Amino acid sequence: MNSQHPFQQVSRSATRATTVVAFLIVLALMLGACGRDDSSDDASESSTTVGGQTTLTTAPPGEPVVTPTTTVREDGLSGTADPSAATADVDTQTDSGVGGKGSGSGTLTGGPANGLPAVMIKVPNDSSARHVLTGIEDADIIFEELVEGGVTRFAAVFNSTLPDQVQPVRSVRGPDPDLALSVGGVFAYSGGAGPFVERINSVPVVAVNESTAGSSLYRVAGKAPYNLAASAKALAALSDEPARAPFRFSNAALAGGQAATNVSVKVSNAQTSNFKYDAGSGVYKRYNGSAPEVSGGVQLGFENVVVIGVATGGTGVIDTAGSESPQSFTVGSGTAWLFRDGKVYVGKWSRAHETAPWEIIADDGSAYTLAPGRTNVVLLPVAGTYAGGKIGWN
């Protein structure tokens, strides 16, 4: 795979000076920012722009400001690979007590379409918030994306099951509009920096935050910013657009592949997402480092883990700790790793435009399909400003 397409840039020539300044700030403050908890912004997050650089700010808890309309495993995984070697191929254009085994009642799990919209809700994955995670065990798809400081956040997508409480709801980031467009429907978030809010409001999804969602988003007991919850059922009533399937599914077993019952995905120095295949339930159980990832008392588990090698860039949005919010490009093509049925299938992903599905193609040109059920998609930074992600398996 030797595609030589140029990398897409964010705000190329018009903001080149801003990008350089932001990049230098990130380099200077990286040691202090990496590994921190992503707890500084909440529903009260807003932003200011000075000299072309946007800075995230927050208001006191309970006083929302609405912007207008790790451990790295060292266990010698036999499949360890450095995705940076493939950067030229990145064209940036359960009843067992483990989450998984989706009901098959919706497009997002490979079952018959149920006519309901997709509901995407932003939730955190930092250590300060994991103890209050609720509802995402019912998500059909969870996208994991790199945010500032090296931590990650989830964009949890619901369709086959619509829980009344998903918590905590967090803010929008740069990659979210393109992710939301892959499924359509509703996008719910707490707030965000001006450029991100403007972008999500400009795309054809129903985007709502605490000030615009009515009773669909509500406060529960607990400390801000982790006490904002969402009703996926109520949010679904805001759109009549049926969900779009972002991947192809099939019950048929895939030919070939390598054994992969342990998977380690190093998104950054601050976040390694690990998965262990449970043959009895047919799901990959998710871990943060060595700790099980739990929501609502249930360990998250997925029939599919899809790792998408993406190029990254800056956004010019800097948080109060001095870290830039990264952009991950999910339109174009690059290397993909599909884990299903205890095996890994390495191929190339391709996505023609924002509302198109991801196609995962084998070297012989045939299509890889996902197993019916739930899916964890990890956006792995392999090129651009925030390159350095690694993946391994055995």
Contact between 341 and 371 (Cβ < 8 Å): yes
Does residue 126 form part of some domain?
yes
Can you tell me the mean pLDDT for 13-31?
Answer: 39
pTM confidence score:
0.80
Domain interval for residue 136: 112-236
Pairing state of beta strands 304-313 and 317-318? Answer: unpaired
Per-residue pLDDT band for 67 (boundaries 50, 70, 90) equals very low
Please give the backbone phi and psi of residue 259, each rounded to the nearest 5 degrees, phi first.
-60, 135
Beta-carbon contacts of residue 279 (< 8 Å; ≥ 6 apart)? 261, 342
Rounded to whole angstroms, the Cα distance separating 127 from 105 reads 33
- DSSP 8-state symbol, 326: P
Report residue 40 as tokens.
């500084």
pLDDT at 333 over 80: yes
Residue 78: how many other CB atoms lie within 10 Å: 12
Q: Give the position of tokens 């950067």.
A: 87
pLDDT reported for residue 335: 99
Beta bridge partners of 390: 266
Phi-psi region of 388 (alpha: psi -120 to 50; beta: other; left: phi over 0): left
pLDDT reported for residue 106: 74
Domain count, the chain: 1
Does residue 173 form part of some domain?
yes
pLDDT reported for residue 38: 53
Task: Single out the residue of 146, 82, 117 nearest to residue 381, CA to CA.
Answer: 146
Tens digit of pLDDT for each residue in 94-119? 333 344 444 345 799 999 999 999 99
Does residue 249 form part of some domain?
no
Does residue 149 form part of some domain?
yes
Pairing state of beta strands 119-124 and 53-58? Answer: unpaired
* Three-state secondary-structure class, residue 79: coil
Rounded to whole angstroms, the Cα distance separating 8 from 384 reads 9
pLDDT reported for residue 285: 99
Contact between 49 and 194 (Cβ < 8 Å): yes
pLDDT reported for residue 159: 98
Tens digit of pLDDT for each residue in 342-374? 999 999 999 999 999 999 999 999 999 999 999
| Of 214 and 78, more confident | 214
Please give the backbone phi and psi of residue 230, each rounded to the nearest 5 degrees, phi first.
-135, 145
Phi-psi region of 190 (alpha: psi -120 to 50; beta: other; left: phi over 0): alpha
Please report, rounded to a whole number, the percentage of residues in the chain having pLDDT higher than 90. Answer: 73
CATH number of the domain bearing residue 182 = 3.50.90.10
Rounded to whole angstroms, the Cα distance separating 16 from 314 reads 10
pLDDT reported for residue 103: 39
Q: Radius of gyration over alpha carbons of the chain, in Å?
A: 19
Per-residue pLDDT band for 121 (boundaries 50, 70, 90) equals very high
pLDDT at 136 over 90: yes
Per-residue pLDDT band for 84 (boundaries 50, 70, 90) equals very low
Can you tell me the mean pLDDT for 63-69?
Answer: 29
Report residue 92 as tokens.
């940036």
Tens digit of pLDDT for each residue in 249-299? 999 999 999 999 999 999 999 999 999 999 999 999 999 999 999 999 999
Tens digit of pLDDT for each residue in 146-197? 999 999 999 999 999 999 999 999 999 999 999 999 999 999 999 999 999 9
- DSSP 8-state symbol, 354: T
Mean pLDDT of the chain: 81
Pairing state of beta strands 375-384 and 141-146? Answer: parallel
Contact between 229 and 218 (Cβ < 8 Å): yes
Query: H helices within the chain, ranges in order?
Result: 16-33, 176-183, 194-202, 232-236
Report residue 321 as tokens.
């700790």
SS (H, E, C) 7-41: CCCCCCHHHHHHHHHHHHHHHHHHHHHCCCCCCCC
Rounded to whole angstroms, the Cα distance separating 329 from 253 reads 30
Does residue 81 form part of some domain?
no
Contact between 63 and 44 (Cβ < 8 Å): yes
Does residue 224 form part of some domain?
yes
Does residue 181 form part of some domain?
yes
Contact between 116 and 110 (Cβ < 8 Å): no
Rounded to whole angstroms, the Cα distance separating 29 from 22 reads 11
Rounded to whole angstroms, the Cα distance separating 118 from 300 reads 20
SS (H, E, C) 172-209: CCCCHHHHHHHHCCEEECCCCCHHHHHHHHHCCCEEEC
pLDDT reported for residue 1: 35
CB burial class (10 A; 0-12, 13-18, 19+) of residue 272?
buried
